Structure 1
Amino acid sequence: MAALRWLIYALGGGMGHLTRASALARRAARSGHSVSLLTNSPFAPGLPLEDVLGPGVHVRRLEATLSKRAVRDVVERWLADERPDVLVVDTFPRGLGGELVALLPELRARKVLVHRDLNPVYVARFDVARAVEAFDLLLVPGEDAPFAAHPRAVRTAPWLLLEPGELLPRARARALLGVPVEESRPVVAVMGCGQASEVEEAGAIAARLHPVLGDAALVRWLVPPVAGASPPKARGARRGAFPGVLRVPVWPALAVLPGVDVLVGAGGYNTVQEARATGTPLVALARPRLYDRQALRLRPEELAGSVAELVERAVLLARARPVGGPVPYAGGACDAVALIEGVLLSA
């Protein structure tokens, strides 16, 4: 179809909203559309978004500390200036601070909600059932959601940023993780994402794993790239603040999962869906969130109830020397683009 202007609203802390929205933006741009992506992730300044998403996607980074009023002003100007054909909103139908309630009725564009699990307390308190009625299409990307049975809701496979053929071969992934070519021990990667404090906590968990595993496995601490630092491929792995632990700045982490034998992390959308898509054994904590319920996303064999249990189960997995390999998966972002195009054609 003809190229159209897409705006993707991906406000929210951490990297979950941004990474999921980036998967859609990248696929939409490859289909010939002009895409503008709005994010206030505190990690966004350091991520190589333009390199990964390509020239068809314009990324607008907001300060994570902006007030609700300031965010509303920015979003209002953004919608007025861009005059989109379609607005895609990730997770929050009212907007992160409720600013979309007054703006959506005046917007002539088609409206699409990326609808995933939400805390029922939030759903009831802010009358989310009414808010979703402003949208022409609800896309449910790979997990259940409160209004998945809505007549305008359509389920897809999970949205992953990279296609299977874009993942690094195992040898290259291990090299990027700082593993010598002659090394055969399994790699245990601790994912540092979510809130900034949780990135540091992941380093502390990696430091606990290192002496317990000894010679049985190599431990790596994966962290988001920091603004102003060299790109991950140039910088490679380096020692961080925790003894014996190599800190590896990398995004998207999905690219290196073929080199990971055990993934340790939290129950965020991207970590869980990427681990399952690549067949990477996962053990994770359910982090507390205002809107997300990570414990529901994790399977019993993936969920650890404490850091001590997390470490113990990761060690058992690593010593079992799990055998991994390529696992073909179907990303849902391509289907999502086709569904949105269908809504635009019906306008």
Structure 2
Amino acid sequence: MIVCYAQGGGLGHLTRIRAYLHTRGPAGGPVAILTGSPFAGDPRVVAGHRVLSAPAGLDRDGLTHWIGGTLARLRPREFVVDAFPAGLSGELSAAAVPAGTRVVHLSRLLRWDAYLPLLAADSLRFAETLLVEPVGGAHRAYLDSVSSAVVPLTLADPPEPAPAVPVAPGGWLIVHSGPAAEVAELVAYALDVAAIEGARPEFTLLSPSRPDVLPPGIAHHDVYPAWPLFAGAERIVTAAGCNAVRQLARWPERHRMLPFPRRFDDQYARAARARAATGA
């Protein structure tokens, strides 16, 4: 069994786990995903894998105890930790992992100074840390110190048919899973970019929920995954999340991104890096 730890409220953690399982392959064994994400109830997202969520209201110590008990019961051969090497609130430590379990870390950009205080004294030791995007400085030094190997990994999403959503030739997509205030800001940004570029496209918002207020002429659809529609769009407007930037790396000329502040994710550094890479 493979147990994947994807703690976080957004959709990105689960999307990255899906891509990891497809890229590396689950070797025919069952997969369990430990997550508190509200998107874990969507069968399109979890792809039939078993989902386990901690009881509501646990503090950090309670969550650590629940994780340890769950892993002891499941006895996974591999434990995959997404994004946060010590968990979202510092709840992961070496003591929680059964002996003989291979521990893998999927690493992405973090605001390392903000995250550093959460590291435990008995940090997880990783058989392998897989960099889904480059990290540097003190973050990389830490990963080197707790990992037997640190290597890049190019993720590939599982093949999916394009959703039955009409995207007009020359149409623009606005893609974001929330929260609602950010969806509204991204819609406004897309309208501003179109005005600056002198374009009058048809807009389609791809988001789990329709905003309470949506400007006239913008269609809304709840589809997952969104990336199969990217090839047919003139522009794709997103935040600067890890998955969106990864999925749109082949079309930098189409991608317009607006970074948002996060507690630990560094969308501003990611956007700046993507901008420098393309010379935009």
Give the TM-score of the pair, scaled to structure 1.
0.66
Name the residue aligned to 2:225.
Answer: 252
Distance 1:20 1:219, change over 3 A: same
- 1:250/1:63 CA distance change after superposition, 3 Å: farther
1:241 and 2:237 aligned: no
Distance 1:275 1:288 in 2: 20
Partner of 1:178: 166
Residue 19 of structure 1 is aligned with which of 15, 21, 30?
15
Aligned to 2:176: 192
Shift of 1:218: 1.1
- Tell me which of 77, 87, 100 is aligned to 1:85: 77
In structure 2, the partner of 1:218 is 202
* SS at 1:79 equivalent: helix
More displaced, 80-89 or 102-111? Answer: 102-111
Whole-angstrom CA distance in 1 between matches of 2:55 and 2:27: 30
Using CA pairs below 8 Å that are at least 6 residues apart, which structure has the higher relative contact order?
1
Residue 126 (structure 1) shift: 3.2
Letter aligned with residue 213 of structure 2: A
Matched, 1:125 2:117: yes
Query: How far off is 1:198 after superposition?
Result: 1.8
- TM-score, normalisation: structure 2: 0.79
Aligned to 2:3: 7
> How far apart are residue 274 of structure 1 and its match?
0.6
Percent identity (aligned): 28
Q: 1:67 to 1:248 in 2, by over 3 A?
A: farther
Change beyond 3 A, Cα 1:63–1:206: farther
String of CA shifts for 1:25-44, please: whole Å, max 9, x gaps. 34555631221112222333
Structure 1 residues not aligned, in runs of 5+: 227-237, 304-316, 318-347
Q: Is the 8 A contact 1:162 1:255 kept in 2?
A: no
Query: What per-residue deviation string (whole Å, max 9, x for no partner) do you get for residues 13-52 of structure 1?
Result: 21121110121234555631221112222333345134xx
Following superposition, the deviation at residue 94 of structure 1 comes to 1.5
Distance 1:38 1:124, change over 3 A: closer
Q: Between Structure 1 and Structure 2, which shows a larger proportion of helix residues?
A: 1
**Contact 2:71–2:96, Cα closer than 8 Å, also in 1:** no
Partner AA of 2:269 in structure 1: L
What's the counterpart of residue 45 of structure 1?
41
Residue 291 in 1 paired to residue 258 in 2? Answer: no
TM-aligned CA distance change 1:280 to 1:37, over 3 Å:
farther
Offset of 1:62 from its aligned partner? 5.7
1:240/1:247 contact within 8 Å kept: no
* TM-aligned CA distance change 1:108 to 1:268, over 3 Å: same
Q: Give the distance between the partners of 1:259 and 1:200, measured in 2 at CA.
A: 23
Any idea what the Cα deviations from partners look like across 1:184-241, whole Å, max 9, x if unmatched?
A: 4x111111235343234334445667888897311111103x6xxxxxxxxxxx9973
Give how far 1:88 is off. 0.7
Q: Which residue of 1 aligns with 2:245?
A: 272
Aligned Cα root-mean-square deviation (Å):
3.4
Aligned counterpart for 2:154 among listed residues 154, 158, 161: 158
Check the 8 A contact 2:204/2:220 in 1, yes or no: yes
Q: CA deviation at 1:73?
A: 4.5
Q: Which amino acid aligns with 2:201?
A: A
User: 1:311 aligns to what?
Assistant: none
Which runs of 5 or more structure 2 residues have no equivalent in the other structure? none
Amino acid at match of 1:178: P
Q: Following the alignment from structure 1 to structure 2, what is the Cα–Cα distance between the partners of residues 300 and 91?
A: 18
Give how far 1:119 is off: 1.3
Residue 90 of structure 1 and its aligned partner are, at CA, apart by 0.7
